[in-house]
Structure 1
Amino acid sequence: MAALSSEVKAFIVQALACFDTPSQVAEAVKREFSVEVSRQQVESHDPTKRCSKTLAKRWVEMFHDARKRFREETVEIPIANRAYRLRALGRMAEKAENMKNMALTAQLLEQAAKEVGDVYVNRQTKNENPHENLAPTRVQVDVVDARKPDADA
């Protein structure tokens, strides 16, 4: 195991705090610093893992601060915003329709409907009348012949 400089350790800790895998971090360290590190060595800098219980307090605090900032800044990432995703899906659907790719257009429209309908969001609301907001499970269509005079009238 190579001795790592504080700069490399800080890079590793911050990358792990941003949910990068040890393999991704090892590759990034090799690219950035030309230092070869193993996945196990990288993982030893993740305070959420058992193997890093002896990690210095300085690195643990840096990890938790970086993770907190990362989670808070996720809101600022455009693709994390529903309106941004809907606009992008709209542009893609329009382009697919202009290209006469109806299958892709249908998929994009379905994805947009799921976005709006909170299909991927785990939000449960408690309602006093649970049957009030139920979606219809059956639709009945009656065909009436308008040419025949109504016998009741």
Structure 2
Amino acid sequence: MAKGNMPVAVQTFIVQSLACFDSPSVVVAAVRKEYGETITRQSVEGYDPTKKAGERLAKRWRMLFDETRKAFLENTAGIAISHRAVRLRALQRMAEKAEDQGNMGLAKDLLKQAAEEVGNVYSNRRELTGKDGKDLPAPAAPVTFFELPSNGRD
């Protein structure tokens, strides 16, 4: 389907999907599923201003891309898998299914991953402490410099 013949809703969907870091092939499949439209990867790449094919993208679509990308990067709360409880629940379902099918190796790996998830192995939080685990010293008071009168001296 040519760019000019594509409905605005499909174009908007493509731009927003690309802004959320979906690959062109994923976008093609999603457009086919959501709208029943058949498009090519190359036509999808034309809507990505970060790629060579999209460098001449209309200002309207470029602004939508930038706004969507900014919102996506700032707000991960809307992504279900970013929450620990959702990840643990999915791991539980997978482990139960693996166990029912007799795949004990996979079940063991999933249980290990769940334990690591609970133990914050996958987080990048760091606790800062002083020597021997004691509290860090309080920050020094700020130093203020005052301009002294010159008393006629140069």
Q: TM-score range by the shorter chain?
A: 0.5 to 0.7
Alignment gaps of 5+ in structure 1: 134-153
The residue number in structure 2 matching 1:19 is 21
CA RMSD of aligned residues (A): 3.5
Aligned partners of 2:54 and 2:96: how far apart in 1? Answer: 51
Match of 1:45 among 41, 44, 47: 47
Structure 1 counterpart SS, 2:47? coil
Q: TM-score, normalised by structure 2?
A: 0.62
- Cα displacement (A) at 1:104: 5.0
- Cα displacement (A) at 1:22: 0.7
Aligned partners of 1:113 and 1:39: how far apart in 2? Answer: 40
**How many correspondences in the alignment?**
132
- Cα displacement (A) at 1:88: 4.8
1:4-153 aligned within 5 A: 4-89=6-91, 103-104=105-106, 106-129=108-131, 132=133
The residue number in structure 1 matching 2:141 is none
- Cα displacement (A) at 1:122: 2.7
List per-residue Cα deviations over 1:81-126 (Å, max 9, x = no partner). 1133335545766787799976555433321221122222233444
The residue number in structure 1 matching 2:150 is none
Structure 1 counterpart SS, 2:130? coil
Aligned partners of 2:40 and 2:64: how far apart in 1? Answer: 21
| Further displaced range: 52-61 or 3-12 | 3-12
List per-residue Cα deviations over 1:55-81 (Å, max 9, x = no partner). 111111111222333345531344321
Structure 1 counterpart SS, 2:76? helix
Aligned partners of 1:113 and 1:119: how far apart in 2? Answer: 9
- Cα displacement (A) at 1:36: 3.5
Alignment gaps of 5+ in structure 2: 135-154
